Amino acid sequence: MILVVGGAGYIGSHLVKELVETEEVIVLDHLSTGHREAVDSRAIFVEGNLGNEAELQLIFKRYPIKAVMHFAAFSLVGESVIDPLKYYENNVASTLTLLKVMLENHVKNFIFSSTAATYGIPTVDMIDEKTATSPINPYGHSKLLIEQILADFHAAYGLNYVALRYFNAAGAHESAKIGESHNPETHLIPIILQQLLGHREKIAVFGSDYETPDGTCIRDYIHVDDLASAHILALEALLSEKKSAAIYNLGNGLGYSVKEVIEMCEKVTGIKANVEMAERRAGDPARLVASSEKIFSELGWKAERNLEQIITDAWKWHQNQLY
Ligand SMILES: NC(=O)c1ccc[n+]([C@@H]2O[C@H](COP(=O)([O-])OP(=O)(O)OC[C@H]3O[C@@H](n4cnc5c(N)ncnc54)[C@H](O)[C@@H]3O)[C@@H](O)[C@H]2O)c1
Ligand SMILES: O=c1ccn([C@@H]2O[C@H](COP(=O)(O)OP(=O)(O)O[C@H]3O[C@H](CO)[C@@H](O)[C@H](O)[C@H]3O)[C@@H](O)[C@H]2O)c(=O)[nH]1
């Protein structure tokens, strides 16, 4: 059985939908940003907080858990700057509780949702795992701290782990039954699609004076189902003992500017966007694009879906959003 913490959230729910095809799954989530409806009905659902040690002990005692996938975190960069305690408490302290309970119960396989935000403002065009990490906000720091803790626990206690540094997760399941639903929504693609549906008046482009070809920030958008399949491969690698400690980037290897993403949304939907230029948003690097060569060469993973497919699937979801 696999425990998925944060499995009612955007990325976790997509992973669960794929994982239930081959494994027994239990989801723990306190639904602060997740949705009960997003959890596949074949998974067991426990509503609870990952920081609650007694509750975790009950889960580990009751179910034969062989691995933990950990998606639960707060992940708004701006909020982390204003309220770092909230971020260190949930993303670091509660994760530490989870790791402690795992070790006490002899569960030694862990897959962690890390982030491109661990790199801060990189000086290279294509970020690989050897690129220096230097987070510029508490959110990125909180994720990098856990990566460090994992390396130390691997050396001292034999904890096996894979940390996956996602770039910009986007898109929705092809069935359009699950997709992205955050309140407030801060991510670019859902915001654009909400505007095209008439739910917002305008799209604000945060900064048009970056050192990029069109002046707007460049990101590497990766389909949420491609992220899910990377987790399945990472789990297989841990369970088969092919890997015992690894960090991988997960991206498409292609960068798109904010303007290019808006244009692609207009192309996919056939609707013209209402766009205004705005001030830069604090903490945004100009360009974040991944090299995912390492996970390709070691586990055979690569992104299968391009930006057009990402937006096509997201559009199907947003037109008939179920939660
Ligand atoms: N969305 C992205 O582009 C992106 C990029 C890089 C990394 N990540 C990381 O991936 C993970 C998932 O991101 P997401 O976009 O699906 O976020 P999300 O907010 O949709 O999902 C997180 C889930 O964890 C749950 N949760 C949070 N704290 C909890 C706690 N203490 N106890 C129990 N449940 C708790 C929430 O209720 C939610 O269901 C996060 O760790 C995030 O930092 C996301
Ligand atoms: O209304 C908006 C929203 C976003 N943007 C821009 O669009 C780009 C993408 O922004 P967003 O979708 O908010 O994602 P990021 O801030 O790049 O962060 C995401 O991707 C990171 C990894 O790259 C993860 O660490 C974060 O958790 C995840 O939220 C950025 O340049 C933003 O400035 C706008 O111009 N207008």
Q: pLDDT of 128-157, one tens digit each?
A: 999 999 999 999 999 999 999 999 999 999
User: What b/e string do you get for 93-111 counting C-beta neighbours within 10 Å, with b at 16 or more?
Assistant: ebbeebbebbbeeebbbbb
| CA 168 to centroid of ligand 1, rounded, Å | 13
Q: Cβ–Cβ contacts within 10 Å for residue 157, how many?
A: 11
> Crossing angle of helices 307-319/258-269, nearest 10°?
60
Q: Is 188 near ligand 2, meaning CB less than 6 Å away?
A: yes
| CA 49 to centroid of ligand 1, rounded, Å | 13
Helices (H), the chain: 10-19, 53-62, 77-82, 84-87, 94-104, 138-157, 188-196, 224-239, 258-269, 293-299, 307-319
Q: pLDDT of 72-126, one tens digit each?
A: 999 998 899 899 999 999 999 999 999 999 999 999 999 999 999 999 999 999 9
Which residues are paired to 245 by β-bridges?
A: 161
pLDDT at res. 46: 98
Q: Is 217 near ligand 2, meaning CB less than 6 Å away?
A: yes
Ligand nearest to the CA of 218: 2
Reported ipTM: 0.98
Nearest-CA residue for ligand 1 atom 19 is: 33
Using CA atoms, how far residue 143 sits from 19, 43, 51, 215, 305, in Å, is 24, 27, 16, 29, 26
Using CA atoms, how far residue 140 sits from 116, 146, 147, 218, 263, in Å, is 8, 10, 11, 18, 29
This prediction's pTM: 0.98
Q: Which of 201, 219, 263 should be mutated for ligand 2, with most atoms under 8 A from CB? A: 219
Residue 156 sits at the vertex; the CA angle it makes with 235 and 98, to the nearest 5 degrees, is: 55
The distance of Cα 19 from the centroid of its chain, to the nearest Å, equals 16
Q: Is 138 left (phi over 0), alpha (psi -120 to 50) or beta?
A: alpha
| CA 73 to centroid of ligand 1, rounded, Å | 4
Active site residue 210: no
75 CA closest ligand 1 atom index: 43
Nearest-CA residue for ligand 1 atom 29 is: 72
- Provide mean pLDDT across the span 286-300: 97
Q: Which of 10, 88, 139, 221 is catalytic?
A: 139
